[in-house]
Chain A
Amino acid sequence: MGFVSPGLVLHYALSRPFLDGALMTLLISIAALALGMLVGLAVALAQKLRFLRLAAIFYLWLFRGTPVMFQLIFVFSVLPAFGIVLSGFTCAVLALGLNEGAYMAEIMRSGLEAVGRGPVLAARALGMRENQVMRHVVLPQALRIVVPPIGNQFIGMLKLSALVSVIAVPELLLIAERTASATFRYLEALAAAGIYYLVLTTFFMLVQAVIEWRLSRRRRRIAFPALTQLLLRATADTGRTR
């Protein structure tokens, strides 16, 4: 490769396949995170019930003890042998979401536990039924605790979703690879994908900051965090190995 062509980077970035690829990355991430949150909440609640605790622990053991790449390939290539044929997209969401649930469970559990017994007793003493206590006291208080880590998980998911290129789901990285191998313009194609990743992660970091700021109880008195602070926090994102 003789020279870098910024024009070509821009051309790729604005081309239909890259746009579709970015959209696919976004869709997979949102769907997998949503599934992960549901599974995580269910597992967190199950851990509190004696007859479900063992099942919950088995789930955590299984999904934390194996690589997410393994889970992805397992869902994609082993399930069809049992007559379960799913689209690549569904496989991607299922594998990433189930894996995410195993980590989200911990976030949800600590959120629920942080609320403590006191406010629950106070709510009961006011005559609330258990579902009202959950809905009006425990969940709103837990929400404020879980929003920051869930935001981090979503940023992580945007990056993790690149893995699904191995099961031929046309997300951003796969598009970049295909384009590159067709034209041998690796640098430009990957740069175009990289720009999309940065745009997505930066945008959602901002969204996360806005949500956190709005949920913070004293929003009238807390200034919106500085941009540099947001970026620093994003690069400090755990980068957990899965």
Chain B
Amino acid sequence: MVVLEARGLKKSFGVLEVLKGVDLTLARGECLVLVGPSGSGKSTLLRCLNLLEAVDSGRILFAGEEITNAGRRAPEIRRRIGMVFQNFELFSHLSALDNIALAPRRVKKEPPARARARAQALLEKVHLPDKADAFPDELSGGQQQRVAIARALAMEPALMLFDEPTSALDPETVGEVLQVMQELSEEGMTSIVVTHEMGFARRAAHRVMFMEAGEAIHEACSADFFGPGVPERVARFLGRIAA
């Protein structure tokens, strides 16, 4: 079953064409890793997919439904698409538990007790069972990012988007975040991950897509992507980030 399909997405900021007709298909349970040089449009693509940014042309289908111009229904669709940001973007005035429980309570109108119980369970899932009362500025980067993942999962999304989730982290804490992401993928979560962590792509991704200057110039299953015979341009990029 196809969870997400994008056809010919185009997006410009003024005269700068950031997406030049991107196609994408994501089956249920699939993990797609998106790589490419800085400025190639990866973040913009993710933001377009969950309607934080409007595309200029092209179509987006989510769970069989056209969502391209959802307009006032956009918030309802975003509820089912989780997003994790490079800089975590936790709500600084709320504890870890309340960060996770906020959207279920306010958006899904879950009873507080239930929202809190689920939030606690999610903290356990991201291996932070005893951080419920900690505030964001009392957590390490890796811990904050895991809370942010739990916060997104609390809305029970059908799709997760990760935008360089480990780029702002100290090397020691990168592993714990990737670990959680890999577990999610193994449980069958459908996800798109923008990352430079090629180890993660090898282990957890089903497919890898390479973007450059607003175009998806190469896409392959992860075994092939890291195998011989990839396009020259991709091989050079991989060589550079491995260095």
Check if B54 is an interface residue, CB within 8 A of chain A: no
Check if A236 is an interface residue, CB within 8 A of chain B: no
State whether B78 touches A126 (Cβ < 8 A): yes
Alpha-carbon distance between A132 and B91 when the two chains are bound, in angstroms? 14
Q: What distance in Å separates the Cβ of A110 from its nearest Cβ neighbour in chain B? A: 16
Q: What distance in Å separates the Cβ of B237 from its nearest Cβ neighbour in chain A? A: 28
Which chain B residues (77-93) contact chain A, with CB distance < 8 Å?
77-83, 85, 87, 89-93
> A112-152 toward B: CB 8 Å interface, digit per residue (1/0)?
00000011011111111100100011001100100000000
State whether A127 touches B91 (Cβ < 8 A): no
State whether A144 touches B93 (Cβ < 8 A): yes
| A121-B85, A218-B135, A218-B138 as given contacts; A126 in contact with B91, CB under 8 Å | no
Chain B CB within 10 A, most for which of A122, A123, A141, A217: A122
Alpha-carbon distance between A132 and B80 when the two chains are bound, in angstroms? 17
In the assembled complex, which residues on chain A have CB atoms less than 8 Å from the CB atom of B76?
A: 127
In the assembled complex, which residues on chain B have CB atoms less than 8 Å from the CB atom of A121?
A: 52, 85, 89
State whether A127 touches B103 (Cβ < 8 A): yes
The size of the chain A interface, using a CB distance under 8 A, is 19
* Closest chain B residue to A135, Cβ basis: B106
Alpha-carbon distance between A126 and B87 when the two chains are bound, in angstroms? 16
State whether B107 touches A141 (Cβ < 8 A): no
Alpha-carbon distance between A152 and B83 when the two chains are bound, in angstroms? 40
State whether B89 touches A127 (Cβ < 8 A): no
Check if B18 is an interface residue, CB within 8 A of chain A: no
In the assembled complex, which residues on chain B have CB atoms less than 8 Å from the CB atom of A118?
A: 85, 87, 89
State whether B107 touches A126 (Cβ < 8 A): yes
Check if B151 is an interface residue, CB within 8 A of chain A: yes
Check if B50 is an interface residue, CB within 8 A of chain A: yes
Q: What distance in Å separates the Cβ of B73 from its nearest Cβ neighbour in chain A? A: 11
Check if B205 is an interface residue, CB within 8 A of chain A: no
Check if B34 is an interface residue, CB within 8 A of chain A: no
Alpha-carbon distance between A162 and B107 when the two chains are bound, in angstroms? 48
State whether A141 touches B52 (Cβ < 8 A): no
The size of the chain B interface, using a CB distance under 8 A, is 29
State whether B83 touches A122 (Cβ < 8 A): yes
In the assembled complex, which residues on chain A have CB atoms less than 8 Å from the CB atom of B89?
A: 118-119, 121-122
Alpha-carbon distance between A141 and B99 when the two chains are bound, in angstroms? 13
In the assembled complex, which residues on chain A have CB atoms less than 8 Å from the CB atom of B151?
A: 122, 126
State whether B52 touches A119 (Cβ < 8 A): no
| A118-B85, A122-B85 as given contacts; A127 in contact with B75, CB under 8 Å | yes
State whether B78 touches A125 (Cβ < 8 A): yes
Contact of B50 among A119, A125, A136, A144 (CB under 8 A): A125
* Closest chain A residue to B135, Cβ basis: A217
Alpha-carbon distance between A136 and B79 when the two chains are bound, in angstroms? 16
Contact of A127 among B78, B135, B137 (CB under 8 A): B78
* Closest chain B residue to A130, Cβ basis: B75
Q: What distance in Å separates the Cβ of B112 from its nearest Cβ neighbour in chain A? A: 14
State whether A126 touches B93 (Cβ < 8 A): no
State whether A124 touches B52 (Cβ < 8 A): yes
> B91-129 toward A: CB 8 Å interface, digit per residue (1/0)?
111000000001100110000000000000000000000
Which chain B residues (27-85) contact chain A, with CB distance < 8 Å?
50, 52, 75-83, 85
State whether A119 touches B103 (Cβ < 8 A): no
In the assembled complex, which residues on chain B have CB atoms less than 8 Å from the CB atom of A119?
A: 89-92
State whether A132 touches B92 (Cβ < 8 A): no
Check if B201 is an interface residue, CB within 8 A of chain A: no
Contact of B102 among A125, A136, A144, A218 (CB under 8 A): A136
Chain B CB within 10 A, most for which of A118, A125, A128, A217: A125
A interface, CB within 8 angstroms of B: 118-119, 121-129, 132, 136-137, 140-141, 144, 217-218
**New contact pairs (11) apart from A121-B89, A122-B91, A124-B52, CB-CB < 8 Å:** A118-B85, A118-B87, A119-B89, A119-B92, A122-B90, A124-B75, A125-B78, A126-B103, A128-B75, A136-B106, A141-B93
